[in-house]
């Protein structure tokens, strides 16, 4: 897999506990999202866990993991924008669009820095993208990557995605020392495949391209600077201290403070009359205590997903 040291041993399987909160994990190279989740769950001895969307084994970076009552909010990030740092090598195309695949074609690199910048502008904004065969999308219940491993390729319809921004982080200017590689910072909408974006940029430049590295640095308002590595979590004397609040994934939502009597009504699933300014989906709090989510419309506050930390 890689050189990550995971050696915490016990004589027998530890008892699972009710653990509630979020771990913002800096996923290591070579781990699938499920691998990372199961490792973290084992470290925390947690009963219930889930992730908020997959990150390829060949990618590193931010992977929010949910435990206990926080799993109720795991789907809130599915539609969030994602930001990546993508290392792209021009001149070579590979099966699957990354370093794992066999070389398909090698072509000379003839474009200038100005031409690259111009092409990047053309790939910024709303674009159509054909999903890769090496993806988790399914055809008749079978993941496309499983078909791809068997050498089967099927037609895929182009999908609309949004590339909010593309920024060159390493201005190589195609010098003698770095003639073929750039690093892009890409902020994209849900459903955007960075490897496909790299391949399409390479084709637009006439030389082809593939990903050599990919790192996710943001999911919605969550940032990689908040994350902890799997190794640091393993070595922490009290891993539970690394858990962030249950409402971490929904902290961008407006907060509604309830008085004790109204909080008790909400916790029993009752609606409340509402005359405040907030509308739509909101967080509910009684003081510092997070209670869950509610929908506000037509002057009514309707409880949605409530938590139970007992």
pLDDT digits (tens, 9 = 90+) for 30-74: 999 999 999 999 999 999 998 888 888 889 999 999 999 999 998
**Structure token pair of residue 215:** 């790192």
| Residue pLDDT, tens place only, 82-140 | 999 999 999 999 988 888 889 999 999 999 888 999 999 999 999 999 887 666 666 66
Place domain 253-306 in its CATH homologous superfamily: PUA domain (2.30.130.10)
Handedness of CA 114, 117, 119, 125 (dihedral sign): negative
Domain 253-306 in the same topology as domain 82-219: no
**Cα–Cα distance measured from residue 37 to residue 19, given in angstroms and rounded to the nearest whole number:** 14
Superfamily for domain range 82-219: Pseudouridine synthase (3.30.2350.10)
> Domain boundaries in the chain?
21-80+221-249, 82-219, 253-306
What are the backbone angles phi and psi of residue 41, rounded to the nearest 5°? -60, -40
Instruction: Tell me phi and psi for residue 205, to 5 degrees.
Output: -90, -10
Report yes or no on whether pTM surpasses 0.75: yes
Catalytic residues: 56
Tally the C-alpha atoms within 13 A of residue 209's C-alpha that lie toward its C-beta.
Answer: 31
In total, the chain counts a number of residues equal to 310
Fold of 21-80+221-249: Pseudouridine synthase (3.30.2350)
């Amino acid at each position: 897999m890689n050189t990550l040291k995971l050696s915490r041993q016990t004589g027998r399987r530890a008892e699972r506990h009710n653990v509630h909160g979020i771990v913002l994990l800096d996923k290591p190279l070579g781990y699938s999202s499920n691998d990372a989740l199961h490792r973290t769950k084992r470290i925390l001895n947690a009963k219930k866990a889930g992730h908020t969307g997959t990150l390829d084994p060949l990618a590193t970076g931010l992977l929010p993991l949910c435990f206990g009552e926080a799993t109720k909010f795991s789907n809130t990030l599915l539609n969030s924008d994602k930001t990546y740092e993508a290392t792209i090598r021009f001149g070579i195309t590979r099966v699957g669009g990354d370093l794992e695949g066999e070389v398909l074609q090698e072509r000379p690199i003839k474009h200038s820095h100005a031409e690259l910048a111009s092409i990047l502008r053309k790939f910024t904004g709303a674009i159509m993208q054909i999903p890769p065969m090496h993806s988790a999308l399914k055809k008749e219940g079978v993941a496309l990557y499983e078909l791809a491993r068997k050498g089967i390729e099927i037609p895929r319809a182009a999908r609309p995605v949004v590339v909010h921004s593309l920024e060159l982080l390493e201005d190589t200017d195609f010098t003698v020392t770095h003639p073929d590689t750039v690093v892009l910072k890409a902020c994209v909408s849900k459903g955007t495949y960075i490897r496909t974006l790299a391949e399409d940029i390479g084709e637009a430049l006439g030389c082809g391209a593939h990903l050599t590295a990919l790192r996710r640095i943001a999911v919605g308002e969550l940032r990689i600077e908040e994350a902890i590595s799997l190794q640091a979590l393993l070595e922490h004397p009290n891993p539970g201290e690394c858990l962030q609040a249950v409402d971490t994934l929904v902290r961008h939502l407006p907060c509604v403070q309830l008085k004790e009597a109204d909080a008790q009504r909400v916790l029993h699933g009752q609606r409340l009359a509402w005359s405040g300014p907030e509308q739509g989906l909101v967080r509910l709090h009684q003081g510092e205590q997070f209670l869950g989510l509610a929908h506000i419309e037509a002057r009514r506050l309707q409880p949605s997903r409530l938590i139970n930390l007992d």
